[in-house]
């Protein structure tokens, strides 16, 4: 009986887990990048947008240009490491 219940509930757990993963994958990158730099002590109130920089990005390092009310940042996201954050001026955004 107990084994039968486990077999019935297992697919349900997988479905719920997959739904949570897909919801996370669809979350706005602006909030994800802003949350990351805030966690590292940078001020980013009212994030206004994040644009991926395909020329600066690599398969294992995504680079985002983040616009916040308090300033603009170039954020390099590296798996399992702290993000590399650089505060940039408006004219400097497209130069890299």
Where along the chain do its domains lie? 29-92
Is residue 95 pLDDT above 90, yes or no? no
DSSP letter string, 76-95: EE-TTSPPEEEEE-GGGTTT
Over the chain, what is the mean pLDDT?
A: 79
R_g over Cα of the chain: 19
- β-partners of residue 50 are 66
Quick one: CA torsion of 30, 78, 42, 29, rounded to 10 degrees?
0
pTM for the full predicted model? 0.67
Confidence of residue 36 (pLDDT cuts 50, 70, 90): very high
């Amino acid at each position: 009986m107990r084994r039968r219940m486990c077999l019935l509930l297992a697919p349900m757990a997988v479905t719920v887990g997959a739904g949570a993963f897909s919801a996370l994958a669809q979350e706005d990158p602006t909030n994800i990048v802003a949350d990351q730099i805030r966690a590292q002590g940078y001020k980013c109130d009212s994030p206004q947008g994040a644009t991926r920089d395909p020329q600066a990005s690599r398969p294992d390092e995504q680079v985002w240009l983040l616009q916040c009310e308090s300033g603009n940042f170039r954020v390099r996201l590296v798996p399992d490491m702290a993000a590399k954050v650089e505060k940039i001026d408006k004219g400097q955004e497209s130069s890299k």
